[in-house]
Structure 1
Amino acid sequence: MHIAFLTPEYPHEKVRHAAGIGTSIKNLAVALVQKGVKVSIFVYSQKEMLVLEQDGITIHLIPHKKYKFFSWFFYRKYIQNYLNRSIYLDKIDLVEAPDWTGITAFMNLKAPLVIRFHGSDAYFCHLENRKQKLKNYWFEKLGMQKANAFIAPTNFAGKLTEELFHLKNKEIRTIHNGIQLDVFSNQEPSIFEKGLLLYIGTIIRKKGVFELPDIFKRVVSAFPEAKLVLIGSDSFDIQTNSKSTWEILERQFDETLKENVTYLGKIPYEEVSEYIKKANVCIFPTYAETLGMVTIESMAMQKAVVNSNIGWANELLVDGESGFLVHPASHDAYASKITMLLKDKKLVETIGENAKKRVEMYFDIEKVAQQNIDFYKRQL
C-alpha cells in the first residue's frame, strides 16, 4: 500500500514551516513505513521544487505559484496535476489531506481522498466565537465534498466538524494522533524542580494565555516560590492587531511577579524535552484544539497536567486520575489544582504514573498506525 499526505507543513530543514499538523503527520508516516507501508509527503507553498528522502519517506516540495487572476483556483489545479502524475507514476493508492483552508477544493484526484480533521478555520472560529470569512468556509466546504471519508483525532472534533459542514453519508472515524513512546520517556520522574510551572504552545489568544497572569498570581499567593516558564512561538493577536501577543501578555503580569516569569520563545525540541522533565506541573489552559499533542507528550513523560476541560480534552485524560481538567476562565479552580500539586509530591508522582499508562493505552503510535492502516484499506 502506498499512502500520500498533502500538507502545508512538515518537520524538515528544507520546509518553510512546521507545527502541529506536520509533527502529527511525521509521527504517523514513520510508523507506517515501519509497518511496511510506502509513504510520500507532498508539501505545498514551498520556495522550490525538490524531492527528498528521509526516514524511508519520499518528500516532494511543491513550489508556490502566483497567477494574474484566481490564484486560489489555479494553484489548487497545479497541485492537483502534480499529485495526479505521482499517483499514476508511483502507484499511490490513497491521498490524505488536512481540512485547514480547504486545499482540496476544486481538485479531482485519481485516488481516494481522506481528509483528517486537524482543525478547520470554521472549527476554530466556532470555538473562539469569531466570525469566519465566507470565502474560507466555502473553500473548506468544497474540500470536504471531495473526500471519500474522514478521520477525526477526537470524537468532539469529529462531531463538531460534521455539524459545521453538514456532512452526511460519509464515514467519520475517530483515530487519535499518536506519539513514539520511546521519544517521550522520563527515566527519573520523581526528580523535578519544585514549583516550576511549564506552558508549551504558541503564544496566542486561543491557547488561553491571557488567563495565565491571574492564575499565576493566585498560585504565587499560596506557593510563593512558584515560577512560570513559557515556550513557543509568538504570534499576531487577532483582537488587537498587535504583531506580538507576548508583548501584550507580558504587560498583564503583576509587576512583583515578573521575575518569576520567563518566556523562552521557540527552542529546539531537545531543550523542550529537558524543560518537561524539570517541570513540577504542566499547564494548558487552551480554548481551541482538536486534540492537544503537548498535553499527550507531557503525560507520556509522567508529568502532572492541569488542562482545559473543553470538549476534546475530556478524551485525553480522566479528571483527578491522570491529570486535572478545569475551565480556563475559572481562575480560582485552576490555580487551586496547580497549588494542590505543588504542595503534594506524592500526588504529582501518582498522577504522572497514571498519565503515562493512559498514553500507552490510547496514544501509542504503534497501535494508532495500525488503526490508520485498517481504515485506509476499507477505503480501497
Structure 2
Amino acid sequence: MNIAYYMPFKPLGHPNPSGDLVAGTELYNYLTKAGHNCQLASRLRCRWIYLRPFAFMRLLAEQKRVSQSLSTAPVDLWLSYHSYYKAPDLLGPYCAKKLGIPYVIFQGIYSTKRRRKLKTLPGFYLNRRTLSAADLIFTNKKRDHRNLLRLLPPDRVSYIAPGLHTRDFTFSNEARSRLRSQYELADKVVVMSAAMFRPGVKTDGLTTVIRSCAKLVKEGADIQLLIAGDGNSRAQLKKTGKQLLGKNITFLGKIPRNELYQYYSAADIFAFPGVEESLGMVYLEAQSCGLPVVAYEDWGGGEVIRNSETGLLSSVSEPDLFTQNLKHLVADQELRRALGSNAASHARTHHELDQNYDFLCKRLEDIRTR
C-alpha cells in the first residue's frame, strides 16, 4: 500500500523524546519494513494549534500544499498517529476527503471531560470532528476503546494490544554483572524507576518512589534506587533523593532507549506509580526484561500489568499500598523471581509488536479495498 503518514503531535525525528514519539516511530518503521510505502505527509505540529493564530494560517496553506502534492503521487489511504484535544489532527481529514481516500487514525482519544474547561473546549470539539471523520480508529488502550464507542459504531473502532520489540528488551546476565559491579550494588535489592524529569505527574511519581524507598530503608531494607531520566526537574529530584536516601539513590541520567535493557537487567524491581500515564511503555520494557512491576492500577499500569501475576498494583486512592507492595517484593526474593518470569512470558505472548501490528495491516488492507 501507498500510505500518507502523519504525526500531528510530534513529527518523526523530533528531538524531545516521549512515549508517543517512540510508538509513532515504531509504527512507521513496522509499516515500512512490511513493504508498504509510507510517505511523510507533513511535519506540521497541531499541538495547541487553536491557540496559535499564525500556526492556524500555516495549516490552511499546508492543507492546500499536501493535497496538491499527493494528487500527483497517489496514495491508497491516510494514516495519522494520535489525535486528541491538545493536538487534534486538522490536516488528515481535509486531505483524505480532498483525495477521496480512507482516513485512518492510530490512537485517537475521545475525552469528554475536556469540554469542561475553556482552554480545552475548542480542542475537544475540533478533535471530536476529526474522530467522527475517520473511517477507522485503532487504539491500544481499553479505556480509550470504551470512550470511542460512545462516539462511533463498533465497525469503525478497533483495539490492538500495545506492543514492543521484545528482542530489544531481554534480560542480560552480562549487563547485570557488569552494572552491579560498576555501581557497587553487591547484594542490595535494586529498585529501578524511569521517567522524564518533567514538572507535574512525572516528577510527582518519581518523588513517590523515592519516598517509598526511603521509608523501607528506615525500616532496615537494604535498597538501592536507580532512576533513569533527565529534564527540568533534575535539581528538585536530586535534592529530594539525597535528603531522603543519601547514598541509597543513584541518578543514571538520560539512558538511550536501546541501552535501557541493561539497566532493567541490573535491577530486581521496577516501580513507578504512573499517575495519568496513558500507557507507560516502561512497564512493558521492564516486564520484557523479567522485572516485576509496582504501579497504580488506575491508568496505564492496569492496561499492561497483571496484578499478582506480573506485578503488584494498587489504587491511587490508597497511596500507602504502593509502599506496601514495594515492601512485599523487596522482602520476598522468590516472589520477585516468580512474577518476573511471568512478566517476561506475558510480554512475549501478548505484547509482541510485530504480532499485534500484523492485525493492523490486515485491517488497513480491508479498508483500502472497500
Range of TM-score over shorter length = 0.7 to 0.9
**2:365 counterpart residue number:** 377
Residue 305 (1) aligns with residue 293 (2): yes
Report how far residue 37 of structure 1 moved.
2.2
How many Å separate the matches in 2 of 1:341 and 1:124?
37
| Aligned with 1:114 (options 81, 98, 104) | 104
Confirm or deny: 8 A CA contact 2:4 2:79 kept in the other structure. Answer: yes
| Corresponding residue SS for 2:216 | helix
- Choose which of 218, 226, 232 in structure 2 pairs with 1:229: 226
Distance in 1 between residues matched to 2:113 and 2:28, nearest whole Å: 26
Report the residue type matching 2:107 in the other structure. Answer: F
Q: Which residue of 1 aligns with 2:141?
A: 154
Q: Alpha carbons of 1:359 and 1:90: their partners in 2 closer, same or farther (altered >3 Å)?
A: farther
Aligned partner of residue 80 in structure 1, secondary structure: helix
What does 1:109-258 correspond to in 2, within 5 Å? Answer: 109=96, 110=99, 111-117=101-107, 122=111, 133-163=120-150, 166-167=151-152, 171-188=156-173, 194-204=188-198, 205-207=200-202, 208-234=205-231, 244-250=232-238, 252-253=240-241, 255-258=243-246
Which structure features the higher share of helix residues?
Answer: 2
Q: Is the 8 A contact 1:155 1:174 kept in 2?
A: yes
Give distance in 1, aligned partners of 2:214 and 2:53.
Answer: 51
What is the CA distance between 1:373 and its match in structure 2? 0.5
Secondary structure in structure 2 of the residue aligned to 1:117: strand
In the alignment, the residues of structure 2 paired with residue 131 and residue 219 of structure 1 have an alpha-carbon distance, to the nearest angstrom, of: 44
Secondary structure of residue in 1 paired with 2:5: strand
1:1-380 map, 5 Å? 1-7=1-7, 8-9=9-10, 12=13, 15-42=14-41, 44-45=43-44, 70-97=53-80, 98-100=82-84, 101-104=87-90, 107-109=94-96, 110=99, 111-117=101-107, 122=111, 133-163=120-150, 166-167=151-152, 171-188=156-173, 194-204=188-198, 205-207=200-202, 208-234=205-231, 244-250=232-238, 252-253=240-241, 255-328=243-316, 330-380=318-368
SS of equivalent residue, structure 1 residue 289:
coil
Moved more, 197-206 or 258-267: 258-267
What is the alpha-carbon distance in structure 2 between the residues aligned to residue 353 and residue 147 of structure 1? 40
Q: SS of the residue aligned with 1:107?
A: helix
1: CA distance, partners of 2:3 / 2:317: 42
- Once the two structures are overlaid, the 10-residue window that deviates more, 245-254 or 206-215, is 245-254
- Letter of the structure 2 residue corresponding to residue 352 of structure 1: G
CA distance in 2, matches of 1:257, 1:298: 23
Which amino acid in structure 2 is aligned with residue 32 of structure 1?
L
- C-alpha distance in 2 between matches for 1:344 and 1:79: 58
Tell me the amino acid that sits aligned with residue 152 of structure 1.
Answer: T
- The alignment partner of 2:173 has SS state of coil
Aligned residues: 345
Q: Displacement, 1:328?
A: 4.1
1:24/1:271 Cα in 2 relative to 1: closer, same or farther (>3 Å)? same
Is 91-100 or 300-309 further displaced after alignment? 91-100
Gaps of 5+ in 2: none
Quote the offset at 1:102 in angstroms.
Answer: 0.5
- Aligned-residue identity in percent: 17
Q: 1:298: Cα distance to partner?
A: 0.9
- For the residues of structure 1 that align with 2:162 and 2:239, how far apart are their CA atoms? 36
Structure 1: which 5+ residue stretches go unaligned? 47-61, 235-243
Q: Distance in 1 between matches of 2:114 and 2:281?
A: 20
3-state SS, counterpart of residue 334 of structure 1: helix
Change over 3 Å in CA distance of 1:183–1:18 after alignment to 2: same
Deviates more, 1:222-231 or 1:186-195: 186-195
Instruction: Give the counterpart letter for 2:201 in structure 1.
Output: K
Q: Is the 1:155–1:312 contact (alpha carbons within 8 Å) kept by the matching residues of 2?
A: no
Aligned pair in 2 of structure 1 residues 132, 368: CA closer, same or farther (>3 Å)?
Answer: farther
